[in-house]
Amino acid sequence: MMQFSIILAVGTGGFVGAILRFLISTWVQKLSPLLFPMGTLSVNVLGSFVIGFLALYFENIVAPHQKALLVTGMLGALTTFSTFSLETVSMLQDGLWGRAAANVTLNALLCITATIVGMIVFKKIYG
């Protein structure tokens, strides 16, 4: 049976991640002059960077509670694949094919790049 403390760590991380997602994505979207979901893109790229960094951190340090809190909980709530999917489908339904393609391309390329950069930063700091 799973330890209650792990479940609590995931829930706490999810609470923090959901609040961060709301604050960051709303702030970025308000700053953006584009009619494009920059808020969602920003939290997805940020979350990808952080998970790249933490993946290497947790590779060498066995800390199940920390991993549950930060990766499963916080980053699971911070990143927004379901929102990204809904926004993309809405663009397609509105006939905004180019914008939808840009959304898919930018999220994929920038998030993968951010994960790699997060790993590089970890190696520079701890490497």
- Total count of domains within the chain: 1
Closest CA to 87 of 73, 70, 106: 106
Owning domain of residue 49: 4-126
Q: For residues 127 and 39, which has the higher predicted lDDT (pLDDT)?
A: 39
Q: What is the pLDDT, as a whole number, of residue 57?
A: 86
pLDDT score for 80: 82
Give this prediction's pTM.
0.85
Q: What DSSP assignment string belongs to 32-88?
A: --SSS-HHHHHHHHHHHHHHHHHHHHHHHS--HHHHIIIIIIIIHHHS-HHHHHHHH
- Please tell me whether residue 1 adopts helix, strand or coil conformation: coil
Q: What local confidence, expressed as pLDDT, does residue 83 receive?
A: 87
pLDDT in tens, 61-118: 767 888 889 988 999 999 988 889 989 999 999 999 999 999 999 999 999 999 999 9
Buried b (16+ CB within 10 A) or exposed e, 64-101: eeebbbbbbbbbbbbbbeebbeebbeebeeeebeebbe
Sign of CA dihedral 49, 53, 59, 63: negative
pLDDT band at 124 (very low <50, low <70, confident <90, very high): very high
